[in-house]
Amino acid sequence: MTSNRPARWRVLVVDDEPTQRLITTRLLERAGFDVDTADNGKAALARLAEYSYPLLITDWEMPEMDGVALCRAVRSAAVDGYVYTILVTSRHSTEHVVAGLQAGADDFLTKPVLEPELLARLNTGKRIVTLERSLRAANEDNRRLSITDPLTGAFNRRHLMAQLPAEIERSVRYAHALSLVMCDVDHFKRINDSHGHQAGDTVLAAVVAAIRANVRATDWVARYGGEEFVIVLPETRYANALAVAESLRLAMARLSIEHHGQVLSLTVSFGVTGWDAAVPAGSVVDDMVARCDAGLYESKAAGRNRVTGQRMDTPPSG
């Protein structure tokens, strides 16, 4: 199991007193930390915008931006990961402790700071940051799994139907074209019946890999159901989408898929739709999918292994 903890922890020390910065830096470096410094809150924010610091130690009283203001700014800023913040001050009252914690500090130390106590508080910070990173990674894994088809690694149908409206809206807003390609593996049941369902799974994974190898990084593919896939082509005119589909058709026909010592081949049928100009306002997902599906049906009816298009700004055929 891979640990989320870095080999050496990076600490940002913020203090307007050069001598105190030097003392704290040497102490932390001896303890195995990588240390950077800043002499006020504004300089610290600039560093936080440029580098990732999981641990922050800041003095309260500083020019330009004090420690409390820095804590507030850190909590409202879009920084990389959680920043565990220790506020250091000579103020001892409960009122000041509460003010510091309410500003966003995680911990509070009063001067003079003892080395064992500072290191103990930093170790607590390390544990909390490690837990936060683990939770964030787990949440990202759960999010990815919820939108991904586990067999092929393509997006799933739910993600397609959730994100395609956003693609349409973005195309309308920026006056871009948008195209959609739907494809279906020909005679897929025959592959399953002749070679088994594992062979079918291998074929579907190979199809998605071939699609990804032949489209742009900005294009994306989703498993629509069974052996059907939909490829979303942002900023792509209909005429160009036809060319993309034909390129994919040829690539699929050239595939040689090895499965348990056998070489499997296949063909794929395609339906294409889209606009050759900017997507008009009021366009909806159902219309795009219906046009694609109709084109795919025509390809199947005409003998398979071909590309059929239905442009969005023309009357539907059939």
The answer to whether 227 is a known catalytic residue is yes
Question: What DSSP designation does 155 have?
Answer: B
What is the C-alpha to C-alpha distance for residues 285 and 241, in angstroms, rounded to an integer?
17
Question: What DSSP designation does 315 have?
Answer: P
What is the C-alpha to C-alpha distance for residues 3 and 32, in angstroms, rounded to an integer?
18
Nearest to 236 by CA among 284, 272, 201, 283: 272
What is the C-alpha to C-alpha distance for residues 279 and 104, in angstroms, rounded to an integer?
46
Per annotation, catalytic residue among 167, 227, 228, 298? 227
What is the C-alpha to C-alpha distance for residues 272 and 183, in angstroms, rounded to an integer?
9
Question: What residues contact 302, with CB distance under 8 A and at least 6 apart?
Answer: 308
Number of other residues whose CB lies within 10 A of the CB of residue 116: 7
Question: Which residue reads 């409202």 in tokens?
Answer: 76
Number of other residues whose CB lies within 10 A of the CB of residue 283: 17
Catalytic positions, please?
Answer: 227
